Amino acid sequence: MKFTCTQENLNQGFQIVQHATSKNLNLPILNNVLITLKDKEIKLLTTNLDIGISYTVRGKIEQEGSFTVNAKLVSDYVNLLPKENIDIELDNKDQLHVKCLGHQTKIKGLNASDYPLIPELNKQNKATINVELFKEAINSVLFAVSKNENRPELNGVLFKFNNKQLILASTDSYRLAERKINIKNNNLGSLNIIVPSKTLQELVRVLSILKSNLNNESEIDIYISEGQILFTLDNFELVSRLIEGNYPDYEQIIPVKFNTQMISSTADFLKNIKTVSLFVKENINDITLQFQVNNNDPLQSEVHIRAFNEQLGESDAVVKSNITGIDNNIVVNYVYLLEGLNNIKTEEIKVEIIDNLSPIVISSANQDQYLYIVMPIRQ
């Protein structure tokens, strides 16, 4: 095999695929990237047997072939080379010769015939989503995925395909995040799957690398078949196993009636929570939200944000808000609260509670695309 490629193109390709490798003592070849030159394409591929990533880079092929080398080593090396053309050739001693403007290196590797095969998914039916919208939606729920491996179904994000809408949901039993986005060309029908959080973390990482190549209209295609999911975008593909099992019926814990509702400035509420949180108890992270309703003028109602720490002191911040219903209070983990608030992009938020024993529900004041629930801390 022999080919020439620009440093920029090759470097981006290695940066995209290198994280899907695995340090497997029984299969050391999983540390490697498979480089394949065929049908005028230079394809890079890595897998850890759960996730597989491939990316096609532009370049000039002089001789077809395939070979594998350590992914991290070749990626780090190419990243440091000058931004010039790179010539790569495989010799008869299972070594890649890499040449670039005064640099000459030989990298040992392993035969491509021993590399695990990545399954081919049926690409007959798919759903198409705007890339930036999809990436934002993933980030808005990914943080709430459970890290407890005793319940593997909670280690992923629920994807609910329904006509022209996709609902993403995640929970760790302490909080719940749900995001709705519109999709087009949905031939998948009504379908519920659980996508591993590690898969989505890797997908978001790659989409961030590809951002400079995309525009506001760029779209990603999703294919699902036989317990696997495939994401494709231009020259990039990511295939992953799905999590088996049934996701909990989380909708039954979402309250539908509330005793107190608050509409407030997102920025003001967020800033004051951060300020008061300096005084929370270590390892508890508890802050109190006390809603005081002004029945004569709800717009002049107040929410008091309080924290107390015997060693540090106490803090009380007041935020003028539009509050209706009854006076109320709740104690919550401020870290959980902030993570949800950071994903609300509207100027105003809506906060609703029943009492101090029930979940607090947070959403955008004028949209129904994002919902976030936090369980209370019981005093």
Written as one string, the DSSP assignment of 209-276 is HGGGG--TT-EEEEEEETTEEEEEETTEEEEEEPPPS----GGGGS-S--SEEEEEEHHHHHHHHHHH
SS3 198: helix
Parallel, antiparallel, or unpaired: how do β-strands 2-6 and 85-90 relate? antiparallel
SS3 68: strand
Q: Return the axis-axis angle of helices 131-142 and 197-209, rounded to nearest 10°.
A: 140
Parallel, antiparallel, or unpaired: how do β-strands 32-38 and 65-70 relate? antiparallel
Q: Which residues, in sequence order, are bridge partners of residue 240?
A: 51, 229
> Cβ distance 1 to 65 under 8 Å?
yes
152 and 239: one domain? yes
Calculate what percentage of the chain has a pLDDT beyond 90.
86
Phi-psi region of 186 (alpha: psi -120 to 50; beta: other; left: phi over 0): beta
- For the cut 90, the answer to whether the pLDDT of residue 189 exceeds it is no
**Interatomic CA distance for residues 73 and 167, integer angstroms:** 39
267 and 323: one domain? yes
Residue 122 falls inside a structural domain: no
**Interatomic CA distance for residues 216 and 92, integer angstroms:** 47
* Residue 198 lies in domain: 127-250
- For the cut 80, the answer to whether the pLDDT of residue 379 exceeds it is no
Give residues with Cβ within 8 angstroms of 378, minimum separation 6: 331, 356, 357
DSSP state of 282: T
Give me 291's structure tokens: 């809603």
Helical residues (DSSP H) of the chain, grouped into ranges: 7-17, 71-80, 131-142, 197-209, 266-276, 334-341
Mean pLDDT score of the chain:
94
Residue that has been written with the tokens 């629920």 in this structure: 158
Give me 287's structure tokens: 């802050």
Give residues with Cβ within 8 angstroms of 248, minimum separation 6: 153, 154, 171
322 and 357: one domain? yes
40 and 67: one domain? yes
pLDDT of residue 213: 86
Residue that has been written with the tokens 């005084």 in this structure: 279
Residue 51 falls inside a structural domain: yes
pLDDT of residue 230: 97
Rounded mean pLDDT of 76-99? 95
pLDDT of residue 70: 96
Q: Tell me which amino acid residue 83 is.
A: K
Residue that has been written with the tokens 């539908």 in this structure: 256
The CATH number that applies at residue 357 is 3.10.150.10
260 and 246: one domain? no
pLDDT of residue 303: 98
Among 282, 314, 320, 318, CA closest to 299: 320
Rounded mean pLDDT of 16-45? 93
pLDDT of residue 228: 95
Among 178, 180, 190, CA closest to 224: 190
Residue 121 falls inside a structural domain: no
Please write the tens of the pLDDT for every residue from 279-304.
999 889 999 999 999 999 999 999 99
pLDDT of residue 177: 98
- For the cut 90, the answer to whether the pLDDT of residue 35 exceeds it is yes
| Domains held by the chain: number | 3
236 and 330: one domain? no
Of 24-28, 199-203, 251-255, least confident by mean pLDDT is 24-28
167: how many CB neighbours lie within 10 A of its CB?
19
pLDDT of residue 19: 92
> Cβ distance 44 to 58 under 8 Å?
no
135 and 110: one domain? no
How many residues are recorded in the chain?
379
186 and 99: one domain? no
Q: Which of 114, 146, 175 is the last residue of a domain?
A: 114
Please write the tens of the pLDDT for every residue from 209-231.
999 888 989 999 999 998 999 99
pLDDT of residue 283: 87
pLDDT of residue 144: 97
Q: Which of 224, 250, 276 is the last residue of a domain?
A: 250
131 and 241: one domain? yes
Please write the tens of the pLDDT for every residue from 126-152.
999 999 999 999 999 999 999 998 999
Helix, strand, coil % over all residues of the chain, rounded to 5: 25, 45, 30
> Cβ distance 372 to 362 under 8 Å?
yes
- For the cut 90, the answer to whether the pLDDT of residue 52 exceeds it is yes
Q: Which of 87, 114, 141 is the last residue of a domain?
A: 114
